[in-house]
Amino acid sequence: MTTAAHATAQDLLALSPVVPVVVVDDAEHAVPLAQALLRGGIGVIELTLRTPAALEAIERVAAEVPEIVIGAGTVTAPEHAAAAAKAGAAFLVTPGCTDRVLGAVEDTGLPFLPGAATVSEAMRLAERGLTALKFFPAEAAGGADYLKSIGGPLPGLRFCPTGGITVDTAPRYLALPNVGCVGGSWLAPKDALLSGDYARIESLARAAAALR
């Protein structure tokens, strides 16, 4: 089995049909959230760097729930990459790409999914040898039809579409040969986190793990 330490970007696409994309406002929620996802059969989580609690949340999950592969999402500045790696992130995800961000992410040595929303962006990343990409914002940028249409001219690329995807629309993406997994924010609703309803999160995870 491939471990997080030896994973490649392509391996990330095979960890789960759905990668939970989570915003944590309170680091105290991170460990019970990760445990609930694991109980539901989801072994990976993308914790976004959108709140002041994010890095501490990553650190706690990495230390206390080593069975789950914890990644840092919304890496939009070079300093984010190093900070996330230091906190214990096993992979990184960017919503888009600049040369400085790409360089910083590559410097960590961690596997990563760079974001692309257009054919030109995807081709530019492919020129750098990057073939596992994040497609963001998926629904707003053309959805499953868009990814299906670029599969012919860009057969060597595979994607994790994220952004606006729901449990009902996910199967349409997952049926595409150039999609390895989808990112989903529906697995960790804010109201469930605030109320401590981890049984609901476990149930959502179980349904997501069964998708294909």
Positions marked catalytic: 46, 134
Q: What pairing do the DSSP bridges indicate for beta strands 18-22 and 44-48?
A: parallel
Q: What is the enclosing helix (H) or strand (E) of 82?
A: helix 78-87
Q: Helix %, strand %, coil % for the chain, to 5?
A: 45, 15, 40
Structure tokens at 112: 């990563």
How many angstroms separate the CA atoms of 133 and 155, rounded? Answer: 13
Beta strand extents in the chain (DSSP E only):
18-22, 44-48, 69-73, 91-93, 112-113, 115-116, 132-135, 158-161, 182-184
How many angstroms separate the CA atoms of 119 and 135, rounded? Answer: 10
